[in-house]
A = this chain, B = another copy of it.
C-alpha cells in the first residue's frame, strides 16, 4: 500500500505522448513544500483519459492536488544512476485554494481517443 496525496506546484510543462499501441501518457515534475522549508520533487505520471485531460488543462506553474500510488525506482543507464520518485496519479485537479476553475466534463469518446 503506497497511496499518497500531495499538493504542489507544477514545475515543468506537461509532456504528453501516445505509445505505438495507443496508450496516452502525460507526465510532469511537481514541487511539494515539505516541513522544515524543504521541497520534495516528484515525477507525476498519468494514463488514458486523465492523461488527455491533464495535457489540455495543466500548465507549468499551476497549483494542483494529486492522489495516487507512490513508486520509488533506482535507475542506471550505464553512464549515470539515480532514484526516481514517481506518483502514478489516479485523480488530480487544480487546487482551488489558489485559483478558480471552469470544468467541462469529458464526453465518452475514449473509443476514438
Tally of contact residues, A, Cβ under 8 A: 56
Q: How many copies does the complex hold?
A: 4
**Residues of chain B lying within 8 A (CB to CB) of residue A56:** 100
Residue of chain B at shortest CB distance from A7:
B91
Residue A11 lies at the interface, judged by CB distance under 8 Å to chain B: no
Task: Give CA–CA (A58, B99) in the complex, Å.
Answer: 12
Interface residue from B41, B50, B95 paired with A97 (Cβ < 8 Å): B50
Task: Give CA–CA (A14, B37) in the complex, Å.
Answer: 28
Residue A22 lies at the interface, judged by CB distance under 8 Å to chain B: no
User: Chain A at the B interface: mostly helix, strand, loop or mixed?
Assistant: strand
**Residues of chain B lying within 8 A (CB to CB) of residue A103:** 57, 59, 62, 94, 99-101
Residue of chain B at shortest CB distance from A83:
B83
Residue A15 lies at the interface, judged by CB distance under 8 Å to chain B: no
Residue A53 lies at the interface, judged by CB distance under 8 Å to chain B: yes
